[in-house]
Amino acid sequence: MAENYNSELLQVFPIATPEQKECFELLQKAYVDARYDKNYKITKEQLLYLIDRVEKLKEITEGRD
């Protein structure tokens, strides 16, 4: 079942550009760093990009049984 998601999930969070890679890394660190690191920062543009990506992830995973 996981293999069915693989190619779609790779498209949700591409890291082809430095900006995409930075956003993915921000998302990876967000849970802990946003709560405990006073220096954690994210721009509005990065946040909007990640919201769009997470919504896409939700569509992919909820569309499967």
Long-range contacts of 33-38 (CB under 8 A, 24+ apart): none
Q: Please, which pLDDT band fits residue 64 given cuts at 50, 70 and 90?
A: low
Nearest partner of 8 among 53, 65, 47, judged by Cα:
53
Do the Cβ atoms of 6 and 64 come closer than 8 Å? no
pLDDT at 22: 94
pLDDT at 65: 53
Q: How far apart are CA 35 and CA 5, in angstroms?
A: 30
Q: What is the mean pLDDT of the chain?
A: 86
Q: How far apart are CA 16 and CA 31, in angstroms?
A: 24
